[in-house]
């Protein structure tokens, strides 16, 4: 199996040497030391682990959650505990992402209609006011029910 020094591993994974050392300090990775005084070596398996850590971080897992998943792998040779925990984490992250997507879609919709309003309304400084009664954006406007005769901003 091919081995790497820490700098080469960092370069291949697109992370810093400092990141790898930090992950080692957390117990997420373990270098192999060949003999007393020689540099530590990492294997292709370590590269895969490092890529997996990056992937899980991209999915929003914390380093503590990732550490728990790695620990489960060490405790259960079948991998079943890790599989179940990954399913749980992925489902939670998916639910969160779906909610964020809905929020973002709502924001996009709001911004789009405001842009359209600003492009089409002749005197937006009269909003809200008398023009509200005939405004084509009346149904969407949050300010239509304010009892203001004229607002200048």
Q: What is the CATH number of the domain that holds 24?
A: 1.10.1660.10
Same domain, 142 and 103: no
Asked if residue 95 and residue 74 are part of one domain, the reply reads yes
The verdict on 12 and 42 lying in the same domain is yes
Residues 129 and 102 in one domain: no
Distant-in-sequence contacts of 19-27, Cβ < 8 A, 24+ apart: 20/50, 23/50, 23/53, 23/63, 26/63, 26/67, 27/67, 27/70
Q: Does 93 lie in the same domain as 79?
A: yes
52 and 5 within one domain: yes
Q: Are 105 and 115 within one domain?
A: yes
| Residue 26, domain extent | 1-58
| Count of structural domains within the chain | 3
pLDDT for res 36: 61
Are 54 and 3 members of one domain? yes
Do 70 and 21 share a structural domain?
A: no
Q: Within this chain, do residues 52 and 9 fall inside the same structural domain, yes or no? A: yes
145, 118 contact by CB (below 8 A): no
Residues 112 and 130 in one domain: no
Confidence (pTM) = 0.69
pLDDT, position 128: 67
pLDDT in tens, the chain (153 residues): 788 899 999 999 999 999 999 999 999 998 876 656 667 889 999 999 999 999 999 999 999 999 999 999 889 999 999 999 999 999 999 999 999 999 999 999 989 988 888 887 777 666 666 667 777 777 777 776 775 555 454
Same domain, 2 and 54: yes
Res 129: pLDDT: 66
* The pLDDT value given to residue 116: 85
């Amino acid at each position: 199996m091919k081995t790497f020094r820490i700098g080469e591993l960092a370069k291949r994974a697109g992370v810093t040497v400092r990141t790898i050392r930090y992950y080692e300090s957390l117990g997420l990775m373990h270098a192999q030391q060949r003999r007393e005084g020689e540099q530590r070596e990492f294997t292709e398996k370590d590269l895969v682990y490092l890529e997996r850590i990056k992937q899980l971080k991209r999915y929003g897992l914390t380093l503590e959650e990732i550490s728990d998943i790695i620990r489960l792998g060490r405790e259960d040779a079948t991998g079943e505990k890790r599989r179940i925990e990954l399913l749980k984490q992925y489902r939670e992250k998916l639910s969160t992402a779906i909610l964020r997507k809905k929020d973002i879609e709502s924001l996009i919709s709001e911004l789009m209609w405001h842009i359209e309003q600003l492009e089409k309304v002749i005197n937006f400084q009269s909003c809200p006011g008398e023009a509200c009664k005939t405004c084509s954006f009346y149904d969407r406007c949050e300010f239509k029910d304010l009892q203001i005769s004229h607002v200048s901003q």
